[in-house]
A and B are shown apart, each in its own frame.
Chain A
Amino acid sequence: MTEIVSTATQAGRPAISGVVGRLPEYLMIWVPLLLSAAHLVSFSLWTIWISFSPSTLVPVTGWVGLRNYNAVLASRNWHIAFDNLLLFGSAFVLLSLITGLVLAILLDQRIRGENVLRTIFLYPLAVSFVVTGTVWSWLLNPGIGIQKLVHDLGWTSFRFDWLIDRDMAIWTIVIAAIWQSSGFAMALFLAGLRSVDADIIKAAQIDGAGPVRIYRRVILPTLWPITITVVVVQLQFAISAFDLVRALTNGGPGIATQLPALVVYDLMFQRGQLGRGAAAAVLMLLILLAVLLPYAAWRYVQRRRATHA
């Protein structure tokens, strides 16, 4: 066996004359990978560097320490964006988890037309956030949407004007985001439900456990890892949400639905505050890391446990 391997290595790595011949393969492997890796590392460092510089309309060299960060953190814009992110992130993640889990459990009941239903619950994921935001901005607009329809039907005191209500507008984004991406949670949960060991369920049935009990005690506990994955992916979306808000409320009314990604864009490309914009982008990254690092640690522990078991 070792003999074969060593001949193989010799065949695979011929002498110097072969190096030129193998140039195309080195180029095809290394150039794309290096470009990708290099742009990730250098662009991140570059943005971090700009965030410590006095750049305004154009990037300039220089060092201002944490001044940009302090300016962003002290601004009303960022405060509102951060509070909105906390509310939007937790409400959206929680509600889409529940919706996704309910849909998955319902679809798991051996019902007819499961394929059609799954297609219906997942199609919003194929649509862009811009389209979703635009369509929901019509439906939720009190002048032309659902409120107008109900008024035309005769119930004139009906009110559903969250889109123009400063306190409630953030919930319109929650609604649209759930519509768009709860199907994702459903797909993952359904896969999880289908992979539960049938023997365990049978054993529980023989023990006389009813369906509700089996779900609560046997099936749902196995979904924990999937739940965590769904939460992390959805949080990742919530933290960098931009298109959806841009199309649905554009941060309004006023700045009531401002989110970090909108603050970054606003500072960089509308106010010409590159340094502060970069600082806001780095703050976004830090928020993301606060979610991803614990997740990575958890994954690491899980893997180690799996290999030790």
Chain B
Amino acid sequence: MRDKTFVPSRMLIYLVVILFAAAYLAPLVVVVLNSLRSNEEIAQGSMIGWPQHLAWGNYAAAWSGFCVAETCAGIRPYMLNSALVTIPATIFSTLLGAIAGYAVSLWRFRGDNWIYGIVTLGLFLPQQMRLLPWTIVLRDTGLINTLTGLVLIHTIQGLSFTTLFCRNYYVAIPHELIRAARIDGAGFFRIFWRIILPLSAPILIVTVIWQFTHIWNEFLYGVTFTTGQQQPVTAALIALSAAIADIPQHGVQSAAVIIAALPTLLIYLLGGRYFVRGLTAGAVK
């Protein structure tokens, strides 16, 4: 291209892109800065400002000090709850989804298309259609207000996504590979462990990242099926802003928001490529 008309338009492109980037980053920057300002400092000015004295104490207070409802243990117990729900549910749903995806794509059995079709409907069915039945099932099994109940929900519902992801990945594996292994006498699990699993690293990373992010960030089930000390951190954040509406503690609250968002943000930064692949795979069903 000719350089003279080229340069100003390039400048404009960079200018616009940088403005957009600033707008996207602004909320994060504001919260990070606020998490380092004292509550008094924020109360005197606005939420948007540069810290005058770094108030690192906000993080300590957010983590284990201040009160949500009647309990004063910071958000640590709720972070722990979220971890105790998210990690097992991610592992279970990914592992079961991988096996199911392997079965429907490479093993084939009677009715597999039907059952797979129904399972993928779970991608579309709104949570609201399942709220009452889950409430009744959890109540009758004694799992209401337990972390186990949430693990169960997220495992079963996650299967729609994990099965789809893995199935779409496994259909590309040549059937001859499986056929040859079967001739050698290898069974379902042997082929899975020896052939499929070693090929699965990319899709398993995508699936794990997707599941972890979604379960960690989930709110509706958390707030519906658990109360008080059993709530995941998303529900606790809402309870927190309601609890301290009278005496604003925006510094501590900002620190709590950062802590709650940190696990998924870190995963995103470390596995960005796989994160995006999950997004596009989830969209192009």
Contact = CB atoms under 8 A, between A and B. Distances in A.
Contacts of A164: none
Contact of A268 (B115, B131, B156, B248): B131
B132 A278 contact: yes
A135 B27 contact: yes
Given A47-B130, A139-B30, A29 B264 contact: no
A221 interface: no
Interface stretch (A68-76, A77-85, A142-150): A142-150
A126 B265 CA distance: 6
Interface residues of A, number: 91
Interface in A130-182: 130-132, 134-139, 141, 144-146, 148-149, 152, 179
B172 interface: no
Interface residues of B, number: 88
Given A43-B134, A274-B132, A278-B132, A139 B126 contact: no
B31 A149 contact: no
A125 B241 CA distance: 22
B264 A50 contact: no
A284 B272 contact: no
B125 A285 contact: yes
B48 A145 contact: yes
A36 interface: yes
A12 B182 contact: yes
Given A33-B119, A242-B220, A138 B17 contact: no
Contacts of A50: 132
A295 to B, nearest CB: 10
A41 B118 contact: yes
A137 B242 CA distance: 12
A122 B133 contact: no
B123 to A, nearest CB: 9
B148 to A, nearest CB: 16
Contact of B183 (A8, A47, A188): A8
Interface string B230-271: 000010011001000000101001000100110011011100
Given A126-B268, A139-B27, A117 B17 contact: yes
A24 B136 CA distance: 30
Interface in A266-287: 268-269, 274, 277-278, 280-282, 284-285
Contact of A126 (B128, B213, B248): B213
A135 B31 contact: yes
A130 B182 contact: no
A105 to B, nearest CB: 9
B187 interface: yes
A278 B30 CA distance: 40
Nearest to B17: A106
A56 to B, nearest CB: 13
A7 B183 contact: yes
A111 interface: yes
Given A29-B109, A123-B268, A149-B49, A44 B129 contact: yes
B83 interface: no
Contacts of B42: 144
A24 B187 CA distance: 11
Contacts of B28: 123
A36 B153 CA distance: 10
Given A34-B115, A106-B13, A128-B261, A8 B132 contact: no
B151 interface: no
B183 A36 contact: no
B13 A111 contact: yes
A124 B116 CA distance: 32
A11 B104 CA distance: 19
A300 interface: no
A33 B24 contact: no
A11 to B, nearest CB: 6
A242 B179 contact: no
B16 interface: yes
A232 B228 CA distance: 37
A40 B122 contact: yes
B265 A127 contact: yes
Nearest to B130: A43
Interface of A: 4-5, 7-8, 11-12, 22, 24-25, 28-29, 32-37, 39-44, 46-47, 50, 59, 103, 106-107, 109, 111, 117, 119-132, 134-139, 141, 144-146, 148-149, 152, 179, 183-184, 187-188, 191, 229-230, 233, 236, 239-240, 242-243, 246-247, 261, 264-265, 268-269, 274, 277-278, 280-282, 284-285, 288, 292
Closest 6 CB pairs of A and B: A128-B217, A126-B268, A148-B46, A25-B188, A43-B133, A281-B128
10 contacts: A8-B182, A28-B96, A32-B100, A36-B156, A40-B118, A43-B130, A179-B23, A188-B280, A265-B224, A281-B126
Interface of B: 10, 13-14, 16-17, 20-21, 23-25, 27-28, 30-31, 34, 42, 45-49, 96-97, 99-100, 103-104, 107, 109, 115-116, 118-119, 121-122, 124-134, 136, 156-157, 159-160, 163, 179, 182-183, 185, 187-189, 213, 216-220, 224, 234, 237-238, 241, 248, 250, 253, 257, 260-261, 264-265, 267-269, 272, 275-276, 279-280, 283-284
Given A25-B187, A123-B269, A229-B284, 15 more contacts: A11-B183, A12-B182, A111-B17, A128-B234, A130-B237, A130-B260, A132-B27, A134-B257, A144-B47, A145-B46, A236-B124, A242-B219, A243-B234, A282-B129, A284-B126
